[in-house]
Structure 1
Amino acid sequence: MPRTPLLIIALFFMIGGIAHFVVMDFFVQMMPAYLGYHTELVIISGVLEIIGAIGLLVPQTRLLAGYGLLALIVAVYPANINMALHPEDFTDIPQAFLYIRLPIQFLFFGFVWWAIKPERLAKK
C-alpha cells in the first residue's frame, strides 16, 4: 500500500494531468510565446503527469516516476513565470496568486523529493 504522501502527490498530478485535457485552452494560454507547439506541449505534459501519478503508486516504477515528475515541475516552470509576467491575460486569477504560485512550485518539488526518499535511499 502506497504511503499517504505518495497518494496525495499522485492525486494532485492525476487531477492536473486530466485538467490539461478538460481545460486545454487555459493551459495553452499559459505557454510562453517563445515556445512553439503549445497544444502539443500541453498534451505531452498532461500525459506525463498522468503517467507519473500512476507510476508513483507502483513500487517498481516509483523512483523513476518521482524523478520524472521532478523534471516535469522544472519543465513547466516557465509557464508559471509567463503567467506572473502577464497577469492581464489571466484576469480570473488574482494577481497575487500568480506570484505565490512561483515559490509554491519549489514546495511541490520538495514534497515529491521527500516522498520518494525511501526509494532514493534504497538505491544507494
Structure 2
Amino acid sequence: MTSVVHRLKRPILYLMGPAYVVAGVLHFVVPDLYAQIIPPIFPAPLALVYLSGLAEIAVGVGLLVPRTRYYAAWGTVALLLAVYPANIYMATSGVVIDGMPGGGDPSAVVRWGRLPLQGVLILLALWYTKPKPESA
C-alpha cells in the first residue's frame, strides 16, 4: 500500500504545481472576484488578492523545482493558512459573489466544501516537506 501511495506522489506534484500557478494567474485576470471574499476586517482587499496571487504562482513554480520544493511546500502550507479566513468568510457571511463564471453564485456545498478541502491541500503540501523514503 505504501508503495502505491508513494507512486502517486510525483503525479500529484505535477497536478498541484500548475494548479497553483493557474489559480495565481486568475487572481490577476479576475481580481474583483477574489476581492469579494476577503473579510472586511482586512485592509486593501485588492492588494491582498494580488499578493496571494503572486504567492500562489511562486509556490506553484517552486513545487516543480526539486531544489525549491521543500521550501515551496512549506510556503504552500503558510499560504493556505493565510487565505483560510477568506474561505471561512465566504462560507459564513452569505456574501453574494458577482462575476462568477456561468453567472451563478457558489452553492452552500461549494462554500462549505472549501473548508475541509483546504485541510486536504495542507496535508498534501506537508507530504512534500518529507524526505523520500529509503529504498530497501
- What's the TM-score once normalised by structure 1's chain length? 0.88
Equivalent of 2:118 in 102, 105, 118: 105
Matches of 2:32 and 2:21, distance apart in 1: 18
| Letter in structure 1 aligned against 2:62 | G
Match of 2:4 in 1: none
Match of 2:105 in 1: 92
Match status 1:8 vs 2:20: no
Matches of 1:83 and 1:97, distance apart in 2: 10
Equivalent of 1:73 in 73, 76, 80: 80
Deviation at 1:52, TM superposition (A): 0.6
Matches of 2:108 and 2:11, distance apart in 1: 32
Equivalent of 1:45 in 52, 59, 72: 52
Structure 2: gaps (5+ residues) = 1-8, 98-103
Match of 2:5 in 1: none
2:131 alignment partner, SS class? helix
- Please tell me the root mean square deviation across aligned C-alpha atoms, in Å: 1.9
2:66 alignment partner, SS class? coil
Asked if 2 retains the 8 angstrom alpha-carbon contact of 1:30 and 1:83, the reply is: yes
- Per-residue CA distance 1:98-120 (angstroms, 9 max, x = gap): 0111111001111111234236x
Deviation at 1:85, TM superposition (A): 1.2
Equivalent of 1:64 in 48, 68, 71: 71
Q: Percent identity?
A: 37
Match of 1:30 in 2: 37
Structure 1: gaps (5+ residues) = none
More helix by share: 1
Matches of 1:34 and 1:59, distance apart in 2: 38
Matches of 2:10 and 2:95, distance apart in 1: 40
- Per-residue CA distance 1:14-41 (angstroms, 9 max, x = gap): 1110110111101000100000011111
The structure having more radius of gyration, on CA atoms, is: 2
| Letter in structure 2 aligned against 1:58 | V
